[in-house]
Amino acid sequence: MARRPAHTDDVPDQDTNREQDAPKNWRSEAPQGPPPLDSPKPWHTEGLPKKPSDGDRPKRPLWMRFVPWLILLLLFFIGINWFNAVQAPPTISYNEFITQVKADNVQSVHAKGDSIDGVLKKAAIAPDTSETKKGESYTKFTTERPTWANDDLLTELNQHSVTVSAVSLVNQTSPWVSLLVAFVPWILIIGVYVWFMNRMSKGGGMGGLGLKRDVKPVEKDTVRVNFSDVAGIDEVEDEVRQIVDFLRNPDKYRKVGARAPKGVLLEGEPGTGKTLLARATAGEAEVPFFSASASEFIEMIVGVGAQRVRQLFEEARKAAPAIIFIDEIDAIGRSRASNRSLGGNDEREQTLNQILTEMDGFDGTEGVVVMAATNRADVLDPALTRPGRFDRVITVSPPDQKGRAAILRVHTREIPTAKDVNLDQLAASTPGMTGADLANLANEAALQAASRNDTQVYQRDFTNALEQIQLGVARSVVIPDDERRRTAYHESGHALLGMLQKGADPVRKVSIIPRGQALGVTLSTPDTDKYGYDEQYLLGRIVGALGGMAAENAIFGVVTTGAESDLKQATAIARQMVGKWGMSEKVGPVMVLPDDADPRQIGISDETLSTVDGEVRRIIGECQDKAVRLLKEHRAQLDSIATKLLEKETLDENEVYAAAGIDRPRDDSNLSGAEASPAAPAPPPDTPPDDSGTAAPAGPTPPSSLWGPPQGSPSS
C-alpha cells in the first residue's frame, strides 16, 4: 500500500473528513469544562474541551431513568383493570337469583366461596335492584350468597337441573397473581438480556457485572501536569519535546515532508516516571490526554477488548490533536509466538491486532500520538515495536544523584522544610532510588513531622523515614542476652570485613535493634553512583556477605539460621560472575545462565552446568576462607565493634569506624560541599525483599538477584 503524501494542502483527507483548504488550528484551546463521560469506558481523560451541545447539564439521577418505565407499567395495569371491569357480568341481588332458579331459567352456576357466577338459559332484564347494567338484558351474572342464609340452595338447584361447580377458597388464585406469574419471568429475562446487550454495546463486557467505572472529568480550573513537574530525567525530556513541538506546530514539520512518530514506547523500571512523563507531554502541548491500562481492555467476552480499542482511538481522533497513553502494554502486547505452543489467547490477540490496525490507520496529519509504557520491552511482539508503529523507544532510567536532588525539590515544594534540611546530602544517601521512591520518602518524612504536631519537616524526619522505608519499623521484642551477643558479633563481622576490603562501599550504620524480620542490620552504600563493577569488587561483596557467619563460627563455634540470606546473596553474586559475566577461567567468557529461560532450552549441556556449580562452590569457599582469616587477624577490632554495639545498640558511620580504629575513606566530590550522610541509605528499588544483606550500590541496571538489602540477622 502506498504511503499517503505528507503535504495534503490540495488533497482532501478521506479518513478524517477535514477540509484541507481551510487553515487548521491544530492547537487545542484550554479546557472549558468537564467532558461528557457517562459511558463506562476504561480510559481516563484530561484536557478535553467541552462540547457546546452538552452544556453544563447535570447527569440525571438513576431513579429518574426508571420513572417513565414505572408510569408505563402503571398505565398498563390500569388498562387491564378497566378492561376487566367492562367485560364483567352484572351483579344481581340474591333474591333475583333465587327467582331465576325457581323460574327454571338457570343453566349452570359456579361457586367461589359465597360468590356465585352463573349462566341463564334465556336472557333476562336486569331489575332496578341490580348493581350494574340496570334495565339491560343479561345471560351471565354474579351474586353473593349471604353468610347467614339457611336455605337449602343445593337441593333447590338440583330440583331444577342446574349444573353446579365450585372451587375452594384455599386454592383460589387472584387474577393479578396469575398475571404476574405469567409475565414477570419473561419481563425479567428480557430486561437482563437488554441490560447485558447494552453493556456489551458500550464496551462494558460481562466482567464488570454492572459495576461500571465512571471516568472523572477534568474540571476547567484543574492544573495539568507539565515538564516543570518532571525532574531527574532531562535527557528523556529532550526526546519528547519534539513531540510537543509537533502537536503545537504541525505545519513546520509538514513543510519539510516530516510526519510525527505514530508511537512512542517508554521502557524502564517501575517508578521511574513513565506515566508522569506522558501526562506532562500532553499538558505541555495543551492537548487532550487519554490514558488506560492495557489490562482494562481485556474482558471475559472475546471481542470486547478490540471494541474498546476502536472506541478509544475514535474518540482520540475526534479530539485531535491528542495523546493516547497505554500503561503496562506488555499485558496485551506480548509476543504471539510463545502463545502458539500454548494454544494462544484469542481475546488478548484480538485486542493486540486491533491496536496494530488502528496505528496503521494513522497518517501524519491526524495529530494523534500513541504513547505506551512497559517494564518488559523485551517480551513485546515485534509487529508492535517495528518502525511505523512505535517509531521511537525511550529508556527511562533511575535518576543519578543530581536527578534525585531535583526530584526531591519537586516533591518538597508543598512541604515546609526546616533550614537544616539538605536535599543534596539526602540525594547522595539514596543511590538507586526512583522518583516514586523519593516521593514516598518525602511523604513519610512529612507524616513523621505531622505526628509530632510540628509545622516544619526537619532533616531527622527524612533520616528516620529513610530508615523506616529501608528497614521497617523497630520492634520492641525482648531478646535473650546470649542471642543478642551473637547478633552483635554477626553484624560486627559484616561491618569489619566491609571496612577491610579495598574499594568496598563505606559502612553507614550498624544496629542490633530488631526491625522488620531482621534482628540486626549493617548498611553499606557507595559515596557516588556506580555503573560498572569489577571482579575484585564483587569478590569483596561476597566476603562481606559471609562475614556474619564467619564471625559466629569464629567466636561461638556455631552456625545459625541468621546466615540464610547472607548465603543467598553470596551465592547469587557468584553464580552471575561465573554464568553471566565471564569471570571464571574454567567456564570462559560465555553466558550460560539466561534470565528468563532454562539453560538447557538454549543448548547448555549438563556438563557445563556442573562446571558452573563447581566454580560457584570454589569462589564461595575461597571467600569464606578469606573472611575467617581476616576476622582472626583483626579479632581485637571485631571485639571492639561488638562491645560498642552491645552498649549503644546502634552505631552510625563515624562511631563504627572509630570503634574499629580505621580511617574512613571519603569521596565528597559529588556531595556539593556537604558531609556524607550518616543516615541509613536505601538500596536500589529493584532489590528483592530479603531478611538481610548489604545495601546495594547504585547502577543503571543492576541485577535484582545481585544487590540485596542490608546485611543482618533475620529473626527465626
On whether 490 is known to bind a ligand per the annotation, the reply is yes
Write out the catalytic residue numbers.
491
On whether 274 is known to bind a ligand per the annotation, the reply is yes
What letter represents residue 99's amino acid?
A: T
What letter represents residue 459's amino acid?
A: Q
Report how far apart, in Å, the C-alpha atoms of 103 and of each of 98, 100, 130, 155, 163 are. 9, 5, 18, 15, 15
Spatial CA neighbour of 333 closest among 288, 370, 301: 370
Nearest-Å Rg of the Cα atoms of the chain is 41
| Number of C-beta neighbours around residue 570 at 10 A | 26
Spatial CA neighbour of 498 closest among 460, 472, 530, 525: 525
Q: Are 292 and 327 in contact (CB under 8 A)?
A: yes
Spatial CA neighbour of 359 closest among 327, 321, 387, 399: 387
> How would DSSP label each residue in 120-181?
EEEEEEPPTTSSSSTT-EEEEEEEE--TT--S-HHHHHHHTT-EEEEE-STT---HHHHHHH
SS (H, E, C) 258-276: CCCCCEEEEEECCCCCHHH
Pairing of strands 322-327, 507-511: unpaired
On whether 269 is known to bind a ligand per the annotation, the reply is yes
For 584, what's the count of Cα atoms within 13 Å in the CB-facing half-sphere?
24
What letter represents residue 59's amino acid?
A: K
- The set of residues, in sequence order, having a beta carbon less than 8 Å from that of 325 and lying 6+ positions away, is 275, 278, 279, 282, 289, 290, 291, 292, 370, 371, 372, 373
What letter represents residue 598's amino acid?
A: D
- The set of residues, in sequence order, having a beta carbon less than 8 Å from that of 382 and lying 6+ positions away, is 335
Spatial CA neighbour of 244 closest among 260, 222, 220: 260
What letter represents residue 31's amino acid?
A: P
Chain centroid to Cα 308, Å, comes to: 18
Q: Are 711 and 584 in contact (CB under 8 A)?
A: no
On whether 494 is known to bind a ligand per the annotation, the reply is yes
On whether 268 is known to bind a ligand per the annotation, the reply is yes
Location of C-alpha cell 556524607 = 676
First to last CA, the chain: 67
C-alpha cell at 534: 569489577
Q: How far apart are CA 344 and CA 673, in angstroms?
A: 58
What letter represents residue 266's amino acid?
A: L
What letter represents residue 696's amino acid?
A: A
Q: Are 676 and 461 in contact (CB under 8 A)?
A: no
On whether 275 is known to bind a ligand per the annotation, the reply is yes
C-alpha cell at 457: 519537616
For 662, what's the count of Cα atoms within 13 Å in the CB-facing half-sphere?
23
Q: Are 20 and 9 in contact (CB under 8 A)?
A: yes
Bridge partners of residue 291, in order along the sequence: 44, 325
3-state secondary structure at position 370: strand
Q: Are 400 and 529 in contact (CB under 8 A)?
A: yes
C-alpha cell at 589: 567468557
On whether 566 is known to bind a ligand per the annotation, the reply is yes
> How would DSSP label each residue in 694-708?
PPPPP-SS--TTTS-
Q: Angle 606-633/481-500 helices, nearest 10 degrees? A: 100
Q: What residues are designated binding site for Zn(2+)?
A: 490, 494, 566
Residues placed in the known binding site for ATP: 268-275
Annotated binding site: 268-275, 490, 494, 566
